[in-house]
């Protein structure tokens, strides 16, 4: 490999390293925005959920009438 080829290879490797660094930053931003979106969905949906415990469960018919 001659000097020109080595120089070209080093330039290409530097460009690749920069591109990979920018790609890593973009992936990190995507992960953070996805986490924020999931958190927002969780917060929005958690207000609508009722908490049920084992003691709250009472056998019922399909009509909703309690079974005794």
Dump pLDDT digits (tens) for 19-66. 999 999 999 999 999 999 999 988 888 766 666 666 667 788 888 888
Q: How many CA atoms lie within 13 A of 29 on its CB side?
A: 6
Give dist(CA 35, CA 30) in Å, integer: 9
pLDDT at 45: 80
Give dist(CA 58, CA 68) in Å, integer: 9
Domain extent listing, the chain: 3-56
pLDDT at 50: 64
């Amino acid at each position: 490999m001659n000097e020109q080829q080595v120089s070209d290879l080093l330039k290409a490797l530097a460009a690749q390293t920069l591109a990979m660094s920018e790609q890593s930053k973009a992936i990190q931003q995507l992960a953070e925005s996805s986490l924020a979106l999931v958190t927002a969905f969780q917060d929005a949906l958690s207000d609508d959920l009722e908490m049920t415990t084992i003691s709250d469960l009472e056998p019922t018919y399909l009509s909703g009438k309690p079974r005794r």
